[in-house]
C-alpha cells in the first residue's frame, strides 16, 4: 500500500477515481501517481484516462498526452479513448485511434466495437460500418450482446433498417437494450407502426419487459401517428411501471398524454422528447457498458 506523503492517506485506484473531478484535480492525481511510482500501474492510470476522455469537463488532448506516457496500455485504456473520441465533436478521431490500436498490435474486444460503430453511425459511414461488421464476424464477436446492440443502433442511425432487422432477427440472445434499439431504429426511420408491433411483441415476453427508454422512444411515434389509442396504451403501461407522465419544462411541471396535442406546451414538450429520443439513439449502447472497477 502506498501513501500520499502530504496527507498520509493510502492511495487506491478508487481514491484516484474520486479525486478526478476536474482537470486541475486530475493533474494533482497525475503528479501523485508519478511521485509514488504508481503511474505505470494501469489500474491507477486508467482512472485519469477515464475522467479526461469521458467527462464533459475532461480533456481528450490531455488524455492522449497521458496515454503516450504509458508503456503498456491495456484494452480498457485503448477502449476508453476510442469511446471518448466517438462521443466528441470529431468522431473521425475514434476511427483513427482504432486503426492506431490495430497497427500497435492490440486486438479489439467486444467492448471496442460498440464505440467504433457509434463513431461510424455519427459519421453516417455505412460502408465503413459494414466493413467493421465483417471484421466482427471474423473475430468471433457476432453473437456478443454488446456488439449486436451496437450494430442495430448503427444500422438504424444510417437508415439501413433492413440490416438492423437482419441483425435483430438473427440474434440468439437479447436484452431490453436490444429491443429498445430496434424499436428506436423504427421510430427514427419513421416506421412508426412497426415500432408498435415490436412493442406488442416485447410485452408478450416473460423475461424482458419494456422500460422507461422504450416508452420515451414510442411517445414521438404516437405523435406522428396522431394515435390516441396507442398513447393511452403507453399511459397505462407507464402507470404499471411507476413512470411519471410529468415533464419539467422551464422550471414548471407539465402533465401530458401521448398523441394529445391540446396541451399549451405541446410543441415544446415534443421537441424535448425528440431530443431525448435522439440521445437514446446515439448513446444507448454506450451507456450500457459498465466501467471497469
Q: How far is 10 from 187, CA to CA, in rounded Å?
A: 51
* Same domain for 125 and 93: yes
- CB proximity list for 2: less than 8 A, separation 6 or greater: 10, 11, 36, 37, 38
Q: For residue range 111-162, list pLDDT tens digits in order.
A: 999 999 999 999 999 999 999 999 999 999 999 999 999 999 999 999 999 9
The string of pLDDT tens digits covering residues 12-67 is: 999 999 999 999 999 999 999 999 999 999 999 999 999 999 999 999 999 999 99
Question: pLDDT band for position 251 (50/70/90)?
Answer: very low
In this structure, the answer to whether residues 196 and 254 fall within a common structural domain is yes
Return the closest-CA partner of residue 225 out of 174, 187, 182, 274.
187
Partners of 255 in the β-ladder: 246
**Range 213-226 average pLDDT:** 79
pTM for the model: 0.82
Q: Are strands 2-3 and 10-11 parallel, antiparallel or unpaired?
A: antiparallel
> Are 112 and 154 members of one domain?
yes
Q: Name the least confident of 14-28, 184-198, 252-266.
A: 252-266
* pLDDT tens digits for range 109-124: 999 999 999 999 999 9
CB 178 within 8 A of CB 152: yes
The percent of residues above 90 in pLDDT, for the chain, comes to: 66
Instruction: Report the largest interatomic distance among the alpha carbons of the chain, rounded to a whole angstrom.
Output: 66
Question: Domain count of the chain?
Answer: 3
- Residue 51 structural domain: 1-69
Domain boundary among 69, 92, 115: 69
Q: Does some domain include residue 180?
A: no
Q: Are residues 41 and 87 in the same domain?
A: no
| Claim to verify: residue 49 and residue 81 sit in the same structural domain | no
Residue 179 has pLDDT above 90, yes or no: yes
Amino acid at each position: 500500500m502506498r501513501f500520499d506523503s502530504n496527507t498520509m492517506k493510502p492511495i487506491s485506484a478508487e481514491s484516484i477515481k474520486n479525486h478526478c473531478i476536474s482537470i486541475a484535480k486530475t493533474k494533482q492525481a497525475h503528479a501523485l501517481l508519478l511521485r509514488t511510482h504508481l503511474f505505470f500501474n494501469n489500474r491507477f492510470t486508467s482512472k485519469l484516462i477515464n475522467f479526461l476522455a469521458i467527462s464533459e469537463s475532461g480533456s481528450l488532448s490531455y488524455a492522449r498526452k497521458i496515454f503516450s506516457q504509458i508503456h503498456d496500455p491495456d484494452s480498457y485504456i485503448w477502449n476508453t479513448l476510442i469511446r471518448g473520441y466517438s462521443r466528441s465533436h470529431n468522431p473521425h478521431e475514434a476511427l483513427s485511434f482504432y486503426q492506431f490500436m490495430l497497427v500497435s498490435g492490440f486486438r479489439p474486444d467486444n467492448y471496442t466495437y460498440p464505440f467504433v460503430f457509434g463513431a461510424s453511425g455519427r459519421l453516417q459511414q455505412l460502408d465503413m460500418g459494414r466493413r467493421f461488421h465483417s471484421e466482427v464476424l471474423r473475430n468471433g464477436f457476432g453473437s456478443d450482446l454488446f456488439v449486436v446492440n451496437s450494430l442495430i443502433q448503427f444500422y438504424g442511425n444510417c437508415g439501413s433498417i433492413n440490416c438492423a432487422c437482419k441483425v435483430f432477427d438473427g440474434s440468439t440472445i437479447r436484452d431490453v437494450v436490444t429491443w429498445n434499439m430496434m424499436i428506436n431504429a423504427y421510430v427514427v426511420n419513421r416506421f412508426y407502426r412497426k415500432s408498435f408491433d415490436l412493442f406488442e411483441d416485447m410485452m408478450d415476453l416473460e423475461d424482458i419487459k419494456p422500460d422507461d427508454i422504450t416508452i420515451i422512444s414510442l411517445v414521438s411515434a404516437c405523435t406522428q401517428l396522431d394515435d390516441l389509442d396507442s398513447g393511452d396504451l403507453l399511459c397505462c403501461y407507464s402507470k404499471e411501471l411507476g413512470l411519471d407522465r410529468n415533464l419539467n419544462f422551464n422550471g414548471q411541471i407539465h402533465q401530458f398524454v401521448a398523441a394529445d396535442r391540446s396541451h399549451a406546451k405541446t410543441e415544446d414538450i415534443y421537441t424535448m422528447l425528440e431530443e431525448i429520443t435522439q440521445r437514446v439513439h446515439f448513446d444507448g449502447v454506450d451507456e450500457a457498458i459498465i466501467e471497469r472497477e
